[in-house]
Structure 1
Amino acid sequence: MARKSLVGVVADELLDRIIAGEFPAGSSVPGELELSARHEVSRMTVREAMKTLEAQRILSVERGRGTFVNPLNRWASLEAVLRAASEGQNEAAASVQLIELRRMLETGACELAAARISDADIQALFGHVAAMRAAHEVNDVAAFVEADLAFHDLILLASENVFVAVLFAPLHRVLEKRRAETSAVPTIQEHAIGHHQNIAEALESRDPSRSREAMDLHMQQTLDDLKNLVLEAP
């Protein structure tokens, strides 16, 4: 158990250094001797830590050349990718890709929810929109984000597809951080309120195609706002 703990410590610190940009994609990481001296552990512990990151496809070992960092899109650990998305240097790319993922999953979930959502949940959606409006009026970003996330979570659950909810659960921390950044812009809040109202009305109509389109338009507006009002803002 002690060895496993030390292996985890070494692996986590090396991953932190990779995410911080100290070792960008394509670069080599320090060798066993350097890492064992840094952490005051055995070379065996370092070797196991490196194997852990290699198994997650964060590192690639090239015999005779060294150990190199893989590009983020090759990583096979969701936890590591989420850490990179929330703590890494290339936040712009991560933000765009997160919306792309949401667009793929949430439009489908909204389409499914149209035929499955209860009347009570429909009213709850309108309640979340009202909470967003109230928060917007006093520029309470935290309350706005809370209502926004609750709105989307309700639709995911209303899809009644167990895999959708499970896939989104690990993303919650990153989504909350990203929402707080974008929702700090009043214009983005206004756009979001209008689109959430449209989505709620589409779901109330029980029309799957209309519901999917309403969510898709919201995702496109979110992407446009991110690019034009956040990433390119002076």
Structure 2
Amino acid sequence: MSSDPLPPEDDGAWPAERPAAARTAGLAGSSPAEPWPRRPRRLATAVVDELVDRLVRGEIPAGATLPTEPLLCQTFGVSRTVVREAVKSLESMRLVRVQQGQGTTVRHLGDWDLFNPTVLSAVIRHDAELAILEDLVDVRSALEAQMAGQAAQRADQRQRELLTERMALLEQEVGDPARYLRADVDFHDAVMQASGNRLGRAMIHTLQMEAYRSLRYVGDPTAAEMRLSNVAHRAVHDAVLAGDAEAAQDAMREHIIGSWHRRRPASDAPR
């Protein structure tokens, strides 16, 4: 089924491009939604992406039961095999609980696997209060501060040279937000590499991969804001090279928290 060619007359519209009432009828109401205008090549993945988005939007609240297999098949125009594969994926993401004889129940937000990129991406996308981004900043400030201290204690000569190169690139890219963001990511990664903390580095990468897709997280910094951020980057750089673990931790923590407070959308009040 997944290898079927797309019909040439297909306009390529996705479910999200249809009116909200048409998209949600098969899940929130008693009648099935209209079939998808086209059948994506990887059907189960497409169904999972759409269901995750709808669950995160709250179309089916926590504790409610997911629609039956036949209704999901009709809604998405796919087979039972595809629906079952999709539901298994939702279960592995801890979005739903499958119980024999009781159907498939939507789990509460606190149970969701937020390290799963599909789940995290949807939560960030629909997080009007920025709560998940606030959590991300808290995690980053704690983990990256610790890793900056470890880098100060463990960095070898090549890692110190790399950090200096990345610092120079940050200063060079001031004025170009896109290139500066890339240089910023590379600078932080150089610190994490030097720390030797492989698990911490992997966790930060996983969390930031989706967060950096959100303009609300990265902001649109001015040249003045980039130069101000580089003052903080320089403090981290100098502390690591000096082997001062405590100063490196403090500098990294203050940098991450301070940078977020400066770029946090003004329309959303801090929690």
TM-score of the superposition, structure 1-length normalised? 0.79
The residue that corresponds to 2:144 in the other structure is 106
Q: Secondary structure at the match of 2:78?
A: coil
Greater helix content: 1
Alignment length, in residue pairs? 230
Counterpart-to-counterpart distance in 2, 1:67 and 1:90: 27
Q: Secondary structure at the match of 2:173?
A: helix
**Contact preservation (8 Å) 1:107, 1:216:** yes
Instruction: Compare 224-233 and 106-115 and name the one that shifted more.
Output: 224-233
Instruction: Compare 115-124 and 202-211 and name the one that shifted more.
Output: 115-124
Counterpart-to-counterpart distance in 1, 2:105 and 2:63: 6
Instruction: Compare 6-15 and 224-233 and name the one that shifted more.
Output: 224-233
The residue that corresponds to 2:173 in the other structure is 135
- Structure 1 residues 155, 180: closer, same or farther in 2, change over 3 A? farther
Q: How far did 1:35 drift?
A: 0.7
Counterpart-to-counterpart distance in 2, 1:128 and 1:169: 18
- Structure 1 residues 205, 99: closer, same or farther in 2, change over 3 A? same
- Structure 1 residues 79, 178: closer, same or farther in 2, change over 3 A? closer
Q: Secondary structure at the match of 2:130?
A: helix
**Contact preservation (8 Å) 1:58, 1:75:** yes
Q: Any residues of structure 2 matched to 1:30-179 within 5 Å, and which?
A: 30-43=67-80, 45-61=82-98, 67-76=104-113, 78-90=116-128, 92-136=130-174, 139-178=175-214
Residue in structure 2 matching 1:221, options 253, 258, 269: 258
Query: Where does structure 1 lack aligned partners over 5 or more consecutive residues?
Result: none
**Contact preservation (8 Å) 1:72, 1:81:** no
Q: How far did 1:84 drift?
A: 2.0
Matched to 2:197, the amino acid is N
Counterpart-to-counterpart distance in 2, 1:45 and 1:149: 38
Partner deviation per Cα, 1:17-58 (whole Å, 9 max, x = no partner):
334554455555433222111223344543443233123210
Q: How far did 1:91 drift?
A: 6.8
**Contact preservation (8 Å) 1:202, 1:210:** yes
- Structure 1 residues 131, 217: closer, same or farther in 2, change over 3 A? same
Give me the CA root mean square deviation: 3.2
Percent identity of the aligned residues? 28
Query: Where does structure 2 lack aligned partners over 5 or more consecutive residues?
Result: 3-41
User: Between Structure 1 and Structure 2, whose CA radius of gyration is higher?
Assistant: 2
Counterpart-to-counterpart distance in 1, 2:238 and 2:168: 13
Q: Secondary structure at the match of 2:97?
A: strand
Instruction: Compare 23-32 and 188-197 and name the one that shifted more.
Output: 23-32
**Contact preservation (8 Å) 1:126, 1:197:** no
Partner deviation per Cα, 1:129-157 (whole Å, 9 max, x = no partner):
33333332xx2101110111110000111
Q: Secondary structure at the match of 1:177?
A: coil
Residue in structure 1 matching 2:47, options 2, 10, 14: 10
Matched to 2:206, the amino acid is P
**Contact preservation (8 Å) 2:171, 2:230:** yes
**Contact preservation (8 Å) 1:145, 1:176:** no
- Structure 1 residues 113, 216: closer, same or farther in 2, change over 3 A? same
Instruction: Compare 122-131 and 51-60 and name the one that shifted more.
Output: 122-131
Work out which structure has the larger RCO, using CA pairs closer than 8 Å and 6 or more positions apart in sequence.
Answer: 1
